[in-house]
């Protein structure tokens, strides 16, 4: 049987969901920026789109760290700017200032991290701006019925209502709903909303899941994401490479869809 590198070397691979920077309260063994790049390149990842951990907590400093990383690794990375609804005016002004810079791919939100429902009026500035400017928005999404009560802010079904109101937004549900039955229920949203996508980032390695998505929704709105350094990229690469799907579908997920969505 071919090893992982041999199985995936013929595809253009774009990782649409990674993180850079440390978090003081968490330990990521082997997870500094250079090691992340080394692992991704070793397995043939050509491009990666990151959000900086610092940007989840601070607006100005987080933007500065994002731009610093883009300048340092401009040949490999694109980035999401982070909208923090708790500092909505500051966030949207930062986004307006930097969104058109080279290698800015879109906007990241994390309702659970910021303890704010996406339909809260604090998000209105973002949704209005994103629709008017056809911006790609990546959102954390997760099953709300889990022990971590913060996940209630990121119920993927909230975003159907967002797209009902702002249909021009191109929205990616990270982690494909996250856990349990939500991994399958989210397919209903992908079928219903033309501008809704999912990424397979995080520890959602359910046998047959990718196959069911391709069968139900087709392969054109499915994205590869590793969630490095929270999860080693080799898990996600193996998850997609071992799925029993056609070669064209695998090429879409590994990079073709990201190329079309982000223009990479």
At 174, list the tokens.
């990270």
User: Which residue would you say has higher pLDDT here, 24 or 126?
Assistant: 126
Contact (CB, 8 A) for 222 and 257:
yes
How high is the pLDDT of residue 264? 87
- Give the tens place of pLDDT for each residue, 24-56: 767 776 678 899 999 999 999 999 999 999 999
Q: Is the pLDDT of residue 69 over 90?
A: yes
Number of H helices, E strands in the chain: 13, 8
- The pLDDT value given to residue 210: 98
> Looking at residues 199-213, what average pLDDT do you find?
96
User: Does position 207 have pLDDT exceeding 90, yes or no?
Assistant: yes
Both tokens of residue 153? 């802010």
What mean pLDDT value characterizes the chain?
95
CA-nearest of 230, 229, 170, 221 to 199 is 221
Kindly state the average pLDDT of the residues 106-111. Answer: 98
For residue range 157-194, what is the model confidence (pLDDT) as tens digits? 999 999 999 999 999 999 999 999 999 999 999 999 99
Please give the order of strands across the beta sheet that includes 136-140: 13-20, 45-52, 77-82, 104-109, 136-140, 170-174, 196-199, 222-223
Q: Supply the pLDDT for residue 30.
A: 62
pLDDT at 29: 63
Cis peptide before 60 (omega within 30 of 0): no
The two tokens of residue 11 are 């595809």
More confident residue, 1 or 69: 69
For residue 97, the tally of other CB atoms under 10 A from its CB is: 11
Query: Residue 246 pLDDT > 60, yes or no?
Result: yes
Locate 157 and state its tokens. 């079904």
pLDDT of residue 23: 81
The verdict on pTM exceeding 0.85 is yes
Q: Considering the domain 4-262 in this protein, what is its CATH number?
A: 3.20.20.140
| pLDDT score for 187 | 97
Q: Are 166 and 137 in contact (CB under 8 A)?
A: no
| Dist CA 173 CA 198 (whole Å) | 5
Q: What is the mean pLDDT of residues 97-103?
A: 95
pLDDT band at 22 (very low <50, low <70, confident <90, very high): confident
């Amino acid at each position: 049987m071919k090893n992982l590198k041999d199985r995936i070397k013929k595809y253009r691979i774009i990782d649409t969901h990674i993180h850079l920077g440390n978090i003081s309260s968490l330990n990521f063994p082997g997870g500094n920026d250079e090691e992340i790049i080394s692992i991704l390149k070793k397995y043939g990842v050509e491009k990666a789109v990151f959000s900086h951990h610092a940007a989840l907590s601070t607006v100005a400093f987080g933007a500065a760290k994002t731009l610093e990383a883009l300048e340092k690794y401009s040949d490999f990375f694109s980035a999401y700017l982070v909208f923090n609804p708790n500092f909505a005016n500051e966030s949207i002004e930062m986004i307006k200032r930097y969104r058109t810079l080279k290698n800015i791919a879109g906007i990241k939100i994390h309702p659970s991290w910021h303890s704010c429902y996406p339909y809260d009026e604090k998000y209105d500035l973002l949704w209005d701006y994103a629709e008017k400017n056809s911006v790609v928005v990546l959102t954390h999404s997760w099953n709300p019925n889990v022990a971590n009560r913060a996940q209630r802010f990121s119920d993927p079904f909230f975003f159907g209502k967002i797209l009902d109101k702002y249909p021009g937004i191109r929205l990616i549900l990270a982690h494909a709903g996250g856990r349990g039955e939500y991994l399958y229920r989210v397919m209903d949203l992908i079928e219903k909303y033309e501008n809704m996508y999912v990424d397979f980032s995080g520890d959602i390695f359910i046998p047959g899941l990718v196959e069911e998505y391709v069968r139900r929704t087709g392969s054109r709105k499915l994205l590869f994401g590793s969630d490095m350094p929270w999860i080693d990229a080799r898990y996600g690469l193996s998850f997609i490479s071992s799925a029993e799907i056609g070669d064209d579908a695998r090429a879409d997920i590994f990079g073709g869809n990201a190329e079309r969505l982000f223009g990479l």
